[in-house]
Amino acid sequence: MNLLAEAFAWIFSPARLTGTLPLPTAIAQHLAFTFGSVAIAAVIAIPIGWLIGHTGRGREIAVFLSGAARALPALGLVVLLVMLFGVNLKTEAAVTVFVVLAIPSILAGAYAGIESIDRSVIDAGRAMGMTEWQILFRIEMPLGLSLLIGGLRSATLQVVATVTIAAYVGLGGLGFYIIQGINLRDFAEILGASIIVVVLALVLDGLYALLARFAVPRTDGPRTRARVASSPLTRVPQFSR
């Protein structure tokens, strides 16, 4: 209990606003690595996942690559890429690792969201004369949004926890205090920085929960199908076959 009190005292100490790396700066760096890496991973993984879910092709390859990426040791990969890229590109090396870690969850959420849709809804769209682009943008994407948000949520939580290793190669973030605390045997500093990481994860998890609640269309049968097809939010330009 004393250690926990000391950790909170460390967090709220005025000394955290000064020094080599002020706490607000470390938090900002940590979030920048997290959101930047997840954004890059989303740009890569979401279109591929939608393509796999829409066409039904390449799922086995995606599952294999995703499993392989999950098995990679993050710290070892960061050190390896820093050695390969060079010290001047250590930021790019670390971000590459975080992107690789984020891709599997986002990819799975993207294609699983489309695969989970009742095929009768898609068949009804084709029967109405909708093109494949219209089916993707007006039916599959809105109805698959729930699992996609779940994939983004999982990826973000994984990355926000893993970004602590960026400090191992001198890139700052909240991991700076953990490594410094280990070197100094300052357990209050280690626990204090860890608590902040946990709080960040819980806040981000809550934000994704709210996003999932308000961004997903309700599934109440035929009326949902009609709303998805006619909603201004899901309308796209007419594409030729």
pLDDT in tens, 211-226: 888 776 654 444 444 4
Q: What is the pLDDT of residues 64-94, one digit of tens each?
A: 887 787 778 888 888 888 888 888 899 999 9
Contact 179, 26 (CB under 8 A): no
pLDDT for the residue numbered 150 = 92
pLDDT for the residue numbered 224 = 46
**pLDDT level of residue 182 (50, 70, 90 thresholds):** very high
Least confident of 23-32, 39-48, 51-60: 51-60
Residue 183 scores a pLDDT above 50: yes
Roughly what angle, to the nearest 10 degrees, separates helices 145-162 and 90-115? Answer: 150
The pLDDT of 47-55, averaged and rounded, is: 89
Higher pLDDT, 68 or 111: 111
CA separation, residue 208 to residues 109, 154, 193, 201, 228 (Å): 14, 10, 23, 11, 22
pLDDT for the residue numbered 197 = 96
**pLDDT level of residue 53 (50, 70, 90 thresholds):** confident
The pLDDT of 102-110, averaged and rounded, is: 92
pLDDT for the residue numbered 233 = 37
Helices (H), the chain: 2-11, 23-55, 59-70, 74-85, 90-115, 119-127, 132-135, 141-143, 145-162, 175-184, 187-215, 222-230
Query: What domains lie within the chain, and their CATH numbers?
Result: 2-10+23-231 (1.10.3720.10)
The pTM score is: 0.83
| Average pLDDT score, the chain | 85
pLDDT for the residue numbered 216 = 62
> CB atoms < 10 A from the CB of 115, how many?
17
Query: Could you give phi then psi for residue 217, rounded to 5 degrees?
Result: -65, 145
CA distance 114 to 119: 10
pLDDT for the residue numbered 232 = 40
Residue 120 scores a pLDDT above 70: yes
